[in-house]
Structure 1
């Protein structure tokens, strides 16, 4: 995807670290990430643009919106991700004007006033970084809970390793954070009221300029300025004092950590209070700003300095909760939710069965299409600019690949494995440069499940031989998927019988093709929770239904909804079905 990260930064903050860290991970996954901000200090991949979001006069804001509209159109931005109040206000309007999906990560408490309540300006989805912010957005600003989803800070946890306790002549206490605003007030009070500056080697790490009130401490405190080597800085401390990312990174290094921020003092982080700490972003967010009791800080410092390391359980909790890969996986899912829901378009997954050459081959169940019409379908898809994907393609990259900018993707699926798939379909796929996924029944030689239907018997049609299945798979235009041994209604079977139908079919095909299968189709589209769990347990990465499942493909990769193609689906009918919004309109109707 083409993603624009928007910030309003005048100095390094947690929001900038978050945006660039997440942005670099997205870039490594193949996304094109752009940045726009007042300033951008952190090294980052991808183009960046300067815009003075903090200049908030009415003419300036008109300029902000106009410039954002220009960037969105010029760079084909598919989604805007804002990270501050100032940037989100302008981005919200620009996205409304251009129809661009937008999310906003909310890094701190929001101001409460009448205009803010009426105009949240957070786009399609707001992502508070902790539970306390989410509660404030609901209670104070009236943001609908359905518009909110907690999305934690992403940390490159591999950069931070538990280190040996330092051997310092005097205990080193490292305070990390801004020296301006509420964090500056917090640091001043810690130095003036809580810490024995003669007893401890106190170091203040900040990218902010010191104002004159800190001059009184310069003989006893080391003001180190900003550092790019955060792990080294943390490893040298006997105790780290900070909030937000500072506390998380300190705990990843195994350092005893006093979590105190703009709103609350959590105290020394322990396994007993880590969930409370996470819910408040380690003290940065609370019910009311600067509601901090400083009276116990000195005692907490004395107590924790007797420890060499923090509890290993804490480090494991932080790794599990803030791991960058997990956080960006979550973000990609949200991006897909917002993008598809806003535009009401999804990659069409269409379903064929068998192909005929003349009227004598027609069936009674409507699961056929004349091969001449199939060729017309492929010609139309070609003219519309479609390219085809298979599940193997998605497994090698990522489901979000289907939203690649400048591309229009479709997936062609074909059920049962009829012999005509080899004789008639494969040559046309090669001719027009399309690929398909063919789901194969392996325990039958013909469509017994339909022929022996007592209520409505079908014409007998041959299935592919082993040799034809192998040739289809080797053609380069077909992925073979599983479809059971005998095409039963799986939801009528016991779990054991379902397992046998699925695993035996999978084993036979994998032995034949000498590679693992990626996808499976439920016969008749019928399944239950046992079916889905078995499909996942045996190693399938995707499973398709027929007319059940969420409208967004990524929301349940084991119940992917498909669009049926029938004998009467002519070129116009196909055009209606593949425009991208067909299922959204159909379900609404």
Structure 2
């Protein structure tokens, strides 16, 4: 995907660290990430464009929107991810004009006024960095709860390793954060009212210029300026004071953290208060700014320096909640949902069964297609520029790869594994260079499940032999998936019977092919929760149904929708079904 990260800032902020950290993780996954902001200090991959979002006059905002529209069109941006109020307003208008999906991460408490309540400018989805932000968006700004999800900060947890306690002659306290705005006020009051600068060695790391009022502390406090190696600073600190990412990173290094931010003083973070600390982003977000009893802090800070606690347990909690790859997984999930539902388009997954040469091979059930029509289908796909994907490729590249800019992907699936798949489909796959996924039944030699149907018996049709299956798989054009031993209606079986049908079929195909299977198809598209759980437990990354499941395929990997192809699906009918919006029009 092509993603535009939009920030507004004049110095390094937590939002910038978040955007560049997850941006680089997304880049590593094959996405193209661009940045637009007033400034961008942190090292990052991806092109950066300067735009003075903090200049907020009407002419300036008009220019912001025009420039964003230009960037969106020039770089074929598929999603805009805003990270601040100023940038989100302009991005919202630009995305409306261009029809571009948009998502906003809300990093802090929002100002509450009438216009903000009526014009949220958050786009298609909002990610709140903690529960307190979510609560304020819902209660203070009347944002619909369905629009909001929790989107934690992503931290490269491998970069912050446990460190032994330093052997400092005088306790070292490090304060990390801005010296401007509410954080600057907090830092000033800590120095002025709470810290004994004679007893402690206080170090301050900040990207801000030291304001004039801080000059009175110059002789007693070390103002380090912007620090590239924050872990090194934390490693030599007896206590780290900060909020948000600062607190998380210090906890990962198993350094004592006194969490205090723009809203409240959580105090020393322990296993007892870690959940509450995370809910307020370690003191950064609350109902009011600086709602802190500063008179009580000196004793609390002294106690924090003298308290022993389970650092390893805390680090494990933070690692589980903020791990960069897990956070990026969630972010990709939100991106896909926003794009698919905003544009009402999903890559088509079409479903064939068997193929015939002449009318004598027609069946009672409408699960066949004449091979001449199949070739017309393939000619249309080739003419329209479609490329075929398999589920094995999706598992390798990631689900989001199906939304790659400038690509038109389709997944061709074929159920049951009839002999005609080898005789008629296989040559056309070779001719057109297409790939397909065939779901093979392995406990039968013909379509017994249809032939022995007392209400509507079908004619007998042979299934492929193991040799034919292996030849198709070895070609690299066909991925085989599981389809049970005998093609039963799974919801009519007990859990153990379902397990045998799914597991034995999987084992037989994997032994024949010499590799693991990637996807499974429920016979008749019929399944229940046991079926889905068993597919997952038995190691399938994906399972496909027919006309049930979410409209966006990534939202339930074990109930992926498919589009049925029938005998009367001509070229025009296929075109209607593969445009991408078919499942949305049908629901």
CA distance in 1, matches of 2:448, 2:69: 59
Residue pair 2:485, 2:504 contacting (<8 A) in 1 also: yes
- What are structure 2's unaligned runs of at least 5 residues? none
- Backbone CA RMSD of aligned residues: 0.8
Aligned to 1:400: 400
SS of alignment partner, residue 100 of structure 1: coil
> Does structure 1 residue 116 correspond to structure 2 residue 116?
yes
Aligned to 1:533: 533
Residue pair 1:255, 1:309 contacting (<8 A) in 2 also: no
Aligned to 2:411: 411
SS of alignment partner, residue 543 of structure 2: strand
Could you tell me how far 1:117 is from its partner in structure 2? 1.1
Could you tell me how far 1:294 is from its partner in structure 2? 1.3
CA distance in 2, matches of 1:546, 1:127: 32
Q: What is the CA deviation profile of residues 150-200 of structure 1, one whole-angstrom value per residue up to 9, with x for unaligned ones? A: 101001110001101001110000111100111111011101111110011
Could you tell me how far 1:307 is from its partner in structure 2? 3.8
Residue pair 1:116, 1:141 contacting (<8 A) in 2 also: yes
Could you tell me how far 1:302 is from its partner in structure 2? 1.3
SS of alignment partner, residue 225 of structure 2: coil
> Does structure 1 residue 180 correspond to structure 2 residue 180?
yes
Could you tell me how far 1:296 is from its partner in structure 2? 2.2
Could you tell me how far 1:133 is from its partner in structure 2? 0.8
CA distance in 1, matches of 2:546, 2:99: 31
Aligned to 1:238: 238
SS of alignment partner, residue 122 of structure 1: coil
Q: What is the CA deviation profile of residues 233-255 of structure 1, one whole-angstrom value per residue up to 9, with x for unaligned ones? A: 11010000001100110101101
CA distance in 2, matches of 1:183, 1:309: 27
Q: What is the CA deviation profile of residues 432-468 of structure 1, one whole-angstrom value per residue up to 9, with x for unaligned ones? A: 1110000000011100000000000001000001100
Aligned to 1:363: 363
- Residues 360-509 of structure 1 aligned to structure 2 (within 5 Å): 360-509=360-509
Aligned to 1:322: 322
Could you tell me how far 1:340 is from its partner in structure 2? 0.3
Q: What is the CA deviation profile of residues 7-52 of structure 1, one whole-angstrom value per residue up to 9, with x for unaligned ones? A: 0110000000000001000000000000000010111000000000
- Residues 252-267 of structure 1 aligned to structure 2 (within 5 Å): 252-267=252-267
CA distance in 2, matches of 1:139, 1:529: 36
Residue pair 1:395, 1:518 contacting (<8 A) in 2 also: yes
CA distance in 1, matches of 2:18, 2:541: 31
SS of alignment partner, residue 456 of structure 1: coil
Aligned to 1:94: 94
Residue pair 1:262, 1:289 contacting (<8 A) in 2 also: yes
Could you tell me how far 1:308 is from its partner in structure 2? 5.9
SS of alignment partner, residue 3 of structure 2: strand
SS of alignment partner, residue 87 of structure 2: helix
Residue pair 1:257, 1:310 contacting (<8 A) in 2 also: no
Aligned to 1:295: 295
Aligned to 1:285: 285
Aligned to 1:62: 62
CA distance in 1, matches of 2:59, 2:42: 29
CA distance in 2, matches of 1:297, 1:166: 23
SS of alignment partner, residue 479 of structure 2: strand
Could you tell me how far 1:107 is from its partner in structure 2? 0.5
- What are structure 1's unaligned runs of at least 5 residues? none
Could you tell me how far 1:135 is from its partner in structure 2? 0.7
Residue pair 1:389, 1:435 contacting (<8 A) in 2 also: yes
SS of alignment partner, residue 276 of structure 1: helix
> Does structure 1 residue 149 correspond to structure 2 residue 183?
no
- Residues 206-217 of structure 1 aligned to structure 2 (within 5 Å): 206-217=206-217
Q: TM-score, normalised by structure 2?
A: 0.99
Q: What is the CA deviation profile of residues 362-410 of structure 1, one whole-angstrom value per residue up to 9, with x for unaligned ones? A: 0011000000000000000111111000001001110111000110000
CA distance in 2, matches of 1:112, 1:514: 61
Residue pair 1:165, 1:309 contacting (<8 A) in 2 also: no
Aligned to 1:44: 44
Could you tell me how far 1:312 is from its partner in structure 2? 1.6
Could you tell me how far 1:211 is from its partner in structure 2? 1.2
CA distance in 1, matches of 2:545, 2:220: 69
CA distance in 2, matches of 1:516, 1:342: 35
Residue pair 1:238, 1:308 contacting (<8 A) in 2 also: no
Give the 4+ runs in structure 1 shifted more than 3 A. 307-310
CA distance in 2, matches of 1:289, 1:205: 22
Aligned to 1:26: 26
Could you tell me how far 1:215 is from its partner in structure 2? 1.1
SS of alignment partner, residue 457 of structure 2: coil
CA distance in 2, matches of 1:149, 1:472: 44
Residue pair 2:270, 2:309 contacting (<8 A) in 1 also: no
Residue pair 1:546, 1:564 contacting (<8 A) in 2 also: yes
Aligned to 2:135: 135
Residue pair 1:346, 1:552 contacting (<8 A) in 2 also: yes
The count of corresponding residues between Structure 1 and Structure 2 is 587
Residue pair 2:175, 2:240 contacting (<8 A) in 1 also: yes
Aligned to 1:75: 75
SS of alignment partner, residue 49 of structure 1: strand
